[in-house]
Amino acid sequence: MEEIGIALVGCGRAGMVHARNFAGRIRGARLVSLIDPERDAVSAAARELGVADFSTDVRDALKDSRVHALVVATPTVYHRDIVVAAAHAGRHVLCEKPMAMNVRECVDMMEAAERAKVKLQIAFMRRFDPGFLAGKEAVDSGRIGYAVLVKSLSRGPSVPQPWMFDLAKSNGTLAEVNSHDIDTLRWFTGSEFDEVYAIAGNYRCPQALPAHPDYYDNVVLTAIFNNGMQGIIDGAASVSYGYDARVEVLGTKGVLFIGRLEENSVLSCAEGRGLNQSVIRSWRHLFRDAYEAEDREFIECIRGDRLPKVGGRDGMMAVSVVNAGNESIRTKKPVKVANLD
């Protein structure tokens, strides 16, 4: 089979992680085209990656016969239209999380992919992380008895990209930061969210306030699942101290911890300076192998003609929890999560 030609749509932070993988690390794939409406961003990416073909218009990639698949890493609000257009053009898609803004958009994307018989994978890379995989296996093995509570936190160090302050484009921190935690809770509980209650506030991003008074950079969401298990999600943006992604599972006979904050095992103690250890600074670093495994999985699904491990339904269920969480923040009340069976 010939190499799978990849076009990257959106040459920002996440897009470039995938692009660097597809530019040489993923067997059976080749990065052939780059798309971004910002000419400076797309030409800088092309220079770095040594890709000759780049454009500011996604339609160019969809007309290019060398492009078999798209990686979509634009702001969330554009995911639906790009993915539907790609499916109509017969292209497979790896779409960054959050899948879309609402369930209706997710259904459009899934239906378009099914009709065109193309693969649609959603980029929940934690499902490919060795620590998370081992944790899931331990829970399923019964090592801690029956799991009762899954707590998952994600806290990002950097100031959000400007479009992320606009809830109409991003759906806020629950979507941008915590989509991964929502997916982890679904995965670890083996169940769907029944009801959520969330509180949120803006504590570190005063610059967002004038234009986006509803933006929140700190959120806590509690949940009850259809199978009776409990969940807690803690999300934060702009925390500056490092990139923090940890999970705790409490069972009837034990507890399990996944994740770490320290970058490596070097701990120093020097006169007058106390104990020192370096901290993980970025998701790019912490999940580097997981992003690569996720990209490899996408190509193997296409080449082996099988369904991705993480598909449209996983993306859609996470979006429905984000929407319920945001409604709970607005109304200050618990909100039932739509049953989408």
Ligand X SMILES: NC(=O)c1ccc[n+]([C@@H]2O[C@H](COP(=O)([O-])OP(=O)(O)OC[C@H]3O[C@@H](n4cnc5c(N)ncnc54)[C@H](O)[C@@H]3O)[C@@H](O)[C@H]2O)c1
Applying CB under 6 A, which residues contact ligand X? 9-15, 35-38, 41, 58, 73-76, 78, 96-98, 123, 125, 161, 176, 283
Give the relative orientation of helices 312-331 and 179-189 as an angle to the nearest 10 degrees. 110
Residue closer to ligand X (CB basis): 10 or 131: 10
Rounded to a whole number of angstroms, the minimum distance from the CB of residue 223 to ligand X is 21
Structure-derived torsion over alpha carbons of residues 324, 326, 329, 332, reported in degrees to the nearest 10: -30
Rounded to a whole number of angstroms, the minimum distance from the CB of residue 38 to ligand X is 4
Residue closer to ligand X (CB basis): 122 or 229: 122
Rounded to a whole number of angstroms, the minimum distance from the CB of residue 300 to ligand X is 19
Residue closer to ligand X (CB basis): 74 or 189: 74
Rounded to a whole number of angstroms, the minimum distance from the CB of residue 273 to ligand X is 33
Residue closer to ligand X (CB basis): 187 or 225: 187
The single-letter code of the amino acid at 284 is R
Please say whether the dihedral angle defined by the alpha carbons of residues 46, 64, 94 and 319, taken in this order, is positive or negative.
positive
Burial class (CB in 10 A: 0-12, 13-18, 19+), 184: buried
Q: How far apart are the first and last CA of the chain?
A: 37
Yes or no: say if 116 and 62 are a contact pair by the CB < 8 Å rule.
no
Residue partners of 273: CB distance under 8 A and separation at least 6? none
Tell me how far CA of residue 62 lies from CA of 6, 57, 70, 323, in angstroms: 11, 10, 9, 31
Residue closer to ligand X (CB basis): 75 or 242: 75
Rounded to a whole number of angstroms, the minimum distance from the CB of residue 161 to ligand X is 4
Rounded to a whole number of angstroms, the minimum distance from the CB of residue 37 to ligand X is 5
Residue closer to ligand X (CB basis): 59 or 336: 59
Helix (H) or strand (E) holding 148: strand 147-155
Rounded to a whole number of angstroms, the minimum distance from the CB of residue 87 to ligand X is 16
Q: Look at the chain and count its residues.
A: 341
Residue closer to ligand X (CB basis): 11 or 302: 11
Rounded to a whole number of angstroms, the minimum distance from the CB of residue 275 to ligand X is 30
Residue closer to ligand X (CB basis): 31 or 229: 31
Point out which residues pair with 221 in neighbouring strands.
198, 233
Rounded to a whole number of angstroms, the minimum distance from the CB of residue 198 to ligand X is 19
Strand ranges of the sheet holding 255-258, from the earlier edge strand across to the other edge: 255-258, 244-251, 147-155, 230-236, 218-225, 193-201, 335-336
The verdict on whether omega for the bond into residue 206 sits within 30 degrees of 0, i.e. cis, is no
**Whole-number Å distance between alpha carbons of 195 and 325:** 9
* Residue with the shortest CB distance to ligand X: 12
Point out which residues pair with 248 in neighbouring strands.
151, 257
Residue closer to ligand X (CB basis): 240 or 276: 240
